[in-house]
Structure 1
Amino acid sequence: MDERGLRGLIDKVKAGGLSRRAFVKRMAAVGLTAPLANQLLAFSGVAMAQSNAPYKPTKRGGGGLLKVMWWQGPTLLNPHFAVGTKDQDASRLFYEPLGAWDRDGNLQPKLAASIPTREDGIAADGKSVTWKLKRGVKWHDGKPFTADDVVFTWAYAGDPATAAVSSGSYKDVVVEKIDDFTVVVKFKQPTPFWADAFVGWAGGIIPKHLFGDYIGARSREAPANLKPVGTGPYKFKDFKPGDLVVGEINLDYHVPNRPYFDAIEMKGGGDAVSAARAVLQTGEYHFAWNLQVEDEILVRMEKGGKGRVVISPGGGIEHMQVNNTDPNVEIDGERSSLKARHPTLTDPAVRQALALLIDRDSIEKHIYGRIGIATPNYINNPEKFRSKTTKYEFNVDKANALLDRAGYARGPDGIRAKDGKKLKWVYQTSINQPRQKTQQIIKQAFQKAGIDVDLKAVTASVFFSSDVANPDTYPHFYADLQMYNNGMNAPDPEVFLRQFCSWEAAQKENKWQGRNITRWQSKEYDETYKAAQVELDPVKRAALLIKCNELVVNNQVVIPLVARPGAVALIHGLVANISGWDNNTWDLANWYRES
């Protein structure tokens, strides 16, 4: 379809002669996914449509206690320090961004009065976006929410000394107050993906009057890190890190008749199987997060009749990370330092052999089923950004031949070595039955190629903790290989792919808050990523982001295992819009239970 034809269709939608649904269907016929088609309409000035089912409750409260289970218990309640999804989800009970991503990849207003469009907010040159803020919003302590809080959040998260995990969304922009209810985000260069700062998981607005004295080096001392005061549907009541978060209804919430439930309890601990059982079989809880459970077990549980598994398309990817630095060498008090290259895993032949030794089909078939699809790509959705040239292969013979040619010979113990460096590593992940089974499948294949791994399983609440002092957290990566699920929090891979940029390396000086966990350094990748950031042509931009994915997987920086759509459990009758592009709690104010 040429540009003239596309413009004609958009004009029809504006005039009411063509429905949004019909437009999205026409775009699908030419290869454009629904989220991108909807973003195209937004960029052209067509307001986003709410994808939620009609909200039925006619008053605030009355729904009793909402009991939800996050089997990895939250460890803090500041969204800008939340390195794990559990902490992000918990923070969203209390804090809200300007906009959030719904299930269909549409941007929905939260603290914004409306979503910016090309005709109202988005600059034609791509160098700024203006947000209009919702009026009448109050913080939980009664103070008014204004543009000052938005500008402060930018300054707070963008300050290197704050060491915020969200810093990448704020450090390269300038935010200015226009008036009490209008701010403008200015970019240094044309920015096609403008919906980053103040949007989604990294977008939580925090109150200036409570955090103002704790910006920069004192950021970890703020009492509100553990006792949040936000604008969300629930007010903080109690928090036991790693165990329980309790919120009570916000009677001054800025959306009429919301929330429905009088209180919420987010229970942590246990494991994914017990969490699934608590909803699907016993009905003790209303919702269970992240069903990292073998699919055959979930199918059996669903027969219990209390609840259902809900699968949401998104960008989740279960993957193995390959450490580019040496976790066994300490330099200036830091292991896995950028100053110490890994002695064997930086060899391209070794990395290529690793990829050949991953039996993805068996992992899908025998473990994940419908909630884990074998893939060669780190970026799998939206389809427009998925590489069509990558492929995966399980071939032990090829892996052995590669290692033979590279000079890695088997010793008396059967383990390969070269120049005194053995192919013997620590392979870590969180304690979780599917992950331990995956470790076993991979270990057996490694052994057939003369590679030995010590399997390490860390308690999930520790592995995904935001505790910067704990060496067993995944951002420290004090192992040779590690495995977990990572996910896109927007229907666009740009922000997600930032995790492989050289300047994002997780290290001591940024309190391991950098997103580049593998510490891979590539000038070609950095330049490709920077080019994508400023490319306004959507086709050319997609090609650049696809190249980023290909550089990562073809260099075995990470080895994708299975694409993981979101999988949660809902008790029958609970109505909740779950998005694969945002936190599970992105729309918590609209949850209710049908009688």
Structure 2
Amino acid sequence: MKQRFTLIGAATALALLPVSAMAERGDSGHLNVIYWQAPSIMNPYLSGGTKDVDASNIVIEPLARYNPRGELVAWLAEEIPTVENGGVAEDLMSITWRLREGLLWSDGTPVTSTDVAFTAEYCMHPEGGCAQLRQFNGVESVEVVDDLTVTVHFDEATPVPYGPFVTGFAPIIQAAQFADCLGARAPECTEANFYPIGTGAFRVTDFRPNDVIQFEANPNYRDPALPHFATLTLKGGGDAASAGRAVMETGEMDYAWNLQLAPDVIATMAQGGQGVPISAFGTLVERIEVNLTDPSPDLPPETRSTREAPHPILSDIRVREALSRAIDRELLVEIGYGVAGLPGCNLVPSPPAFASDTNADCVTQDMDRARELLDEAGWEVGGDGIRVKDGQRLVLDYQTSTNAVRQDFQALIQQWWREIGVEANLRNINASVFFGGDPGSPDTFQKFYADVEMYANNFSGTDPAAYLGQYLCGNEPRPDTQWQGENINRYCDPAYDALHDELGRTANTEDRARIARELNDMLVRSYTIIPLVSRGRVSARSVTLEGVDLNVWDSETSGIAEWRRASN
């Protein structure tokens, strides 16, 4: 009987494997995985969508990850650098990483520190747009010390230096493959973006955007007994319901990601006996993002992407607060998630020390206060019940991805908003397009050509500093960044930026937690973000699939090398 090991770093893990678990690579045959939000690209630096990050992490890997228990562990690196072991400078101005010896790319060439340094150059290029730029906040330079050693230098003391090259959001890419893909040329490198050369357990053999990806075991993977599967199909498209049925009812698939379904639907599927749901709580928050700029199609893209043209309605905080007060979050949880959800009032819901307790009043729906706020803002109820001000009706375009739970949420929120005099035009967009990051598409969440939009994302690891850095001035997606960037609201507050800088200089854990809570509160109390539900991650695995440990602190595919077919 094969035995499972904890994710504590590949080198240590291999040493701990009992002889009985040492099997030949590919001994489990073929693995079928379904992501109903189909991956559009295999490069997380050109897409912030979880579907694309997870798909790419099957092939490309970081120096370190967080394991399913939220612990930082070495991956491609020999060890985690710290002040105690000399890897982090005592003045906190640099961190030095050393690669494990003998690492090979899937094409058989050696992995070197030049690849690591190039990865930073690729993401930080001033003429490009990097979806994960926040991972490199504060980086001044990356120095190649020798073939296996690289030092990251920061522009100021950085007590928590585990942003660059850490987690599935910041993996190492091969310098030779991406050498001609810097800056504005990055989106043009189709071969590299669809077929990256990696160090992961698998390599891509066929990539069809927004459809299906075929993989085979990487012949140069560092562990000769892994991966257990010889080949892998990642099927994209459909919806969460069909994905869940494919695992738990029909058994066509071995693993289904992100089952954003009503709890009774999941329970019914599980009765099929072919698979079981798995879940865990982390930092995933379903929320409404508010556009602070004018999305009018009459404006040029450069104007629509900046604060140059403030939103004609939503620039008033009273309107934004009214939209939030009108929502019954407890009912949303009941309908959409059951025990896999909690009413959400924070952008950062965990770890507990980082979760603010000052926003709990959002749980109580307050229609009277919502109406008062709109009255105060000068919006008067018209003959059809929709408010009017200076001849303009209070009408908002409300978009999200296509998903049954999200469409249920849209319908409920549309009803609640209408009760306070706000009309919402609903639109849902194919998830592969919405989260795809295609700079040529008008329908991506980054372009945000709507008034409000709804989705969920989370941060890896247990420290939210980089995540909160999304909302710094200058991080907005815009044409000159190929529409990459994470400040999709176009929020900009110098006080927020200054406080985030303070967080970057703060070492004490309690002080870091306090500052992070304050940053969270600035975003939430300004109603730039309207949290709805703190979501547990729910996926499903086949009853014949072993070795799966749902990781909500990093990429969900980070442990895929260990997945295996159950022994008879």
TM-score computed with the length of structure 1 as normaliser: 0.89
**Residue 452 of structure 1 corresponds to which residue in structure 2?**
423
| Alignment correspondent of 1:353 | 322
Distance 1:203 1:271 in 2: 28
SS at 1:202 equivalent = coil
1:263-311, Cα deviation, whole Å (9 max, x unpaired): 1100001000100111111111110011111111001111211111111
- Inter-partner Cα distance in structure 2 for 1:116 and 1:169: 17
Matched, 1:487 2:458: yes
Q: Give the 3-state SS of the residue equivalent to 1:161 in structure 2.
A: coil
Deviation at 1:584, TM superposition (A): 0.8
Give the residue type in structure 2 aligned to 1:442: I
Q: Note if 1:501 corresponds to 2:472.
A: yes
**Distance of 1:52 and 1:486 partners within structure 2:** 35
Question: Aligned with 1:264: secondary structure?
Answer: strand
Query: Contact (CA 8 Å) 1:238, 1:246: kept in 2 or not?
Result: yes
Match of 1:366 among 327, 335, 339: 335
Are 2:174 and 1:202 equivalent residues in the alignment?
A: no
- Please list, as runs of the form range in 1=range in 2, the aligned pairs for 1:67-466 lying within 5 A after superposition: 67-120=32-85, 121-170=87-136, 172-173=138-139, 174-222=141-189, 223-328=191-296, 330-334=298-302, 335-391=304-360, 392=362, 393-466=364-437
| Alignment CA distance shift 1:522-1:221 (3 Å) | same
- Structure-1 residue corresponding to 2:29: 64
Distance 2:99 2:531 in 1: 40
Structure 1 Cα separation of the partners of residues 251 and 184 of structure 2: 45
CA distance in 1, matches of 2:423, 2:13: 52
Does the Cα contact within 8 Å between 1:190 and 1:536 map onto a contact in 2?
A: no
Which residue among 534, 546, 551 is the counterpart of 1:579?
551
Q: Please, which runs of 5 or more residues in structure 1 have no aligned partner?
A: 1-37
AA aligned opposite 1:58: A
C-alpha separation between the residues in 2 aligned to 1:487 and 1:169?
Answer: 14
Instruction: Decide whether aligned partners of structure 1 residues 510 and 279 sit closer, same or farther in structure 2, where only a CA change above 3 A counts.
Output: same
Per-residue deviation, 1:175? 1.0
Q: 1:51 to 1:165 in 2, by over 3 A?
A: farther
* 1:162 Cα deviation after fit: 2.6
Counterpart in 2 of 1:28?
Answer: none
For residues 379 and 481 of structure 2, what CA distance do their matches in structure 1 show? 37
Q: Is the 8 A contact 1:48 1:108 kept in 2?
A: no
Shift of 1:217: 2.4
Secondary structure of the residue aligned to 1:495 is helix
1:529 alignment partner in structure 2: 500
In 2, Cα distance between equivalents of 1:240 and 1:534: 44
Percent of paired sites with the same residue: 38
Work out whether 1:544 is the aligned partner of 2:515.
yes
The residue identity in structure 2 corresponding to 1:503 is: G
For 1:300-339, what per-residue CA distance to the aligned partner results, in whole angstroms no more than 9, with x for missing partners?
A: 1112111111112210000001110111154444434421
Give how far 1:542 is off: 1.1
**Matched position secondary structure for 2:282:** coil
SS, match of residue 169 in structure 2: helix
Residues of 2 paired with 1:177 and 1:70: CA distance? 38
In structure 1, the residue matched to 2:5 is none
Counterpart CA distance in 2 for 1:52 and 1:481 is 51
Deviation string, structure 1 residues 161-197 (Cα, Å, up to 9, x no partner): 2312122323631111111111111111111221110
SS of the equivalent of 2:118 reads: helix
Q: Secondary structure at the match of 1:315?
A: strand
Structure 2 gap segments, 5+ residues each: 1-7
Deviations 1:52-79 (A, max 9, x none): 9968353322110010001111111112
Tell me the residue number matched to 1:29. none
Task: Render the CA deviation track for 1:199-221: whole Å, top value 9, x for unaligned.
Answer: 11222111111111221222222
Question: How far apart are the structure 2 equivalents of 1:498 and 1:288?
Answer: 31
Query: Contact 1:336 / 1:478 at 8 angstroms: preserved in 2?
Result: no
CA distance in 2 between partners of 1:52 and 1:579 (Å):
22
Q: Does 1:593 align with 2:553?
A: no
In the alignment, residue 155 of structure 1 is paired with which amino acid?
E
Amino acid at match of 2:201: P
**RMSD after superposition:** 2.0
Q: TM-score, normalised by structure 2?
A: 0.94
Question: Are 2:27 and 2:229, in contact at CA under 8 Å, matched by a contact in 1?
Answer: yes
Equivalenced residues, count: 551
Structure-to-structure mapping, 1:550-565, within 5 angstroms: 550-565=521-536
1:50, CA displacement in angstroms? 6.9
Partner Cα separation in structure 2 for residue 278 and residue 50 of structure 1: 32
Provide the rounded CA distance (Å) in 2 between the counterparts of 1:454 and 1:341: 20
Amino acid at match of 1:75: S
Distance 2:528 2:344 in 1: 15
> Distance in 1 between the 2:144 and 2:133 partners?
20
8 Å Cα contact 1:302/1:309 also seen in 2:
yes
Residues 2-21 of structure 1 mapped to structure 2, 5 A cutoff: none
1:52–1:577 CA contact under 8 A, matched in 2: no
Q: 1:518 aligns with which of 472, 485, 489?
A: 489
Question: Partners of 1:364 and 1:156 in 2: how far apart?
Answer: 41
Q: Secondary structure of 1:185's partner?
A: strand
Q: Partners of 1:297 and 1:237 in 2: how far apart?
A: 35
After alignment, is 282-291 or 505-514 more displaced?
Answer: 505-514
**DSSP 3-state at the match of 2:91:** coil
Q: Distance between the aligned counterparts of 2:481 and 2:459, measured in 1? A: 22
Partner of 2:3: none
**Counterpart secondary structure, 1:225:** helix
Separation in structure 2 between the aligned mates of residue 219 and residue 478 of structure 1, nearest angstrom: 24
* CA separation of 1:73 and 1:499: change in aligned 2, threshold 3 A: same
Distance (whole Å) between structure 1 residues aligned to residue 136 and residue 333 of structure 2: 38
